[in-house]
Structure 1
Amino acid sequence: MTAFIQEIKREVKNWWLFTVIGILLLIAGFYTISNPLASYLGLSVFFGGLIFVNGIMELSFTFGNRHRLHHWGWTLSAGILDVVLGFVLLLYPSLSMSVLPFIVGFYILLLGASLCSYAFQLKNLDVKGWGWILAGGILTVLFGLSMIFNPVIGIATIVGWTAFAFIVAGVVNIIFSMQLKKIRDHMNP
């Protein structure tokens, strides 16, 4: 078992993709805060593109590490769902705007669930700091649930919660990528 864990630690690939995802989420969060009205009107297209790109990157990470990740099917499923959801949002922006609180809420919920899954992956590898990833994932899940169960909270609140959730998820994705890099660098001096 120890040899297997050492092999996983030695061969982590594409760790930097989560840094890119985190940066994109931070940009999305700060853009949303600085342009609330324009953000709501453009959220379906912007989120569609972001979700689509995020899905492509998750799929790339999954395929690059599928032989090394436990339960990699969850990451694969999240990536496929992101690609499909992003494509639909880009294809039908007017429909997307009418159901935007639900779409964004479910997306944020799934993003948080993915972060929780990544935290448990780190825990299985005995990586310190995995609890922070889990806490960020749980916080992201709570943001998603609040948007799903309270969609009439208004444009300002939707924009605010969305921005804050993207910022939290962005920071947590960057922390996760640094943890993956530490695993790789520790085993490959």
Structure 2
Amino acid sequence: MKKKGLEHIHNNTQNGLRSWQILILPGVLYILAGFLAFAVPFESYLALYIISGIFIFISGISEIVFFVRNRTNAMNREGCLLAGILDLVIAFLLLAYPEAILSFLPFYMGIWLLFRGIVAVGFSYRARLFGKLDWIWLLLLASGIVNFFFLLLHNSINDGLNTSYVTGMTFVVAGAFRLFLAFDLKMMHSFKNEYEQIVLNTK
């Protein structure tokens, strides 16, 4: 039983090692979109939304590729698939109807944020099971994503903070989570050797 559990963890580790690079691209793109949101003046926001739509589209493709490459025992692969599909839907709306979506942007971004936060919490929980990952930092970043959903919702109702700042911070936190997770998955390589040593000792 113990050996079977170790093999299950090993399969998860191998899948993480194989696909951690895929998560770097959306992380970098999200952070870039966040800084663009801070830097671009309001008059140029239509162009920013189009650029953000392209970034989110690429992110959605990356999530789906992560799902396809990890056919078994991947970390929260179902969440990756759903997040990838949602990214593609949001990207399509931003690219196809950029002017019409401006007034509804907080609503769409709120849905995107909430789901992203839920998926991130799922990743954090799976990471905790490995014990080797800094899962508490992943959980804090995931909680930050969910909190930004409520901040964006409150801001759209009360017209408080500048929406560009909220959007920018949202992208930066989401990107930081993706990068943190990617490099944590990379560090699983050290766990592979430890697993093999444990298996040898249990024979």
Q: Give the number of equivalent residue pairs.
A: 189
Match of 1:5 among 5, 9, 28: 9
- Aligned pair in 2 of structure 1 residues 23, 177: CA closer, same or farther (>3 Å)? same
Match of 2:115 among 105, 110, 122: 110
- Distance of 1:169 and 1:140 partners within structure 2: 6
Kindly provide the CA deviation profile for residues 135-189 of structure 1, in whole angstroms up to 9, marking residues without a partner as x.
Answer: 1011111101221243145596110011112112211211110000011354269
- Deviation of 1:41 (Å): 2.8
Is 1:97 equivalent to 2:102 in the alignment?
yes
Partner of 1:146: 151
CA contact (8 A) 1:70 1:121 kept: yes
**What TM-score results when the alignment is normalised by the length of structure 1?**
0.89
CA contact (8 A) 1:111 1:140 kept: yes
5+ unaligned residues in a row in structure 2: which ranges? 195-203
Greater Cα radius of gyration, structure 1 or 2: 2
Is 1:64 equivalent to 2:64 in the alignment?
no
Q: RMSD value over aligned CA atoms?
A: 2.2
Partner of 1:180: 185
- Distance of 1:104 and 1:66 partners within structure 2: 30
- Distance of 1:33 and 1:160 partners within structure 2: 6
- Deviation of 1:81 (Å): 1.5
Structure 1: 4+ residue segments shifted above 6 A: none
Partner of 2:167: 162
- Deviation of 1:7 (Å): 2.1
CA contact (8 A) 2:36 2:48 kept: no
5+ unaligned residues in a row in structure 1: which ranges? none
CA contact (8 A) 2:86 2:112 kept: no
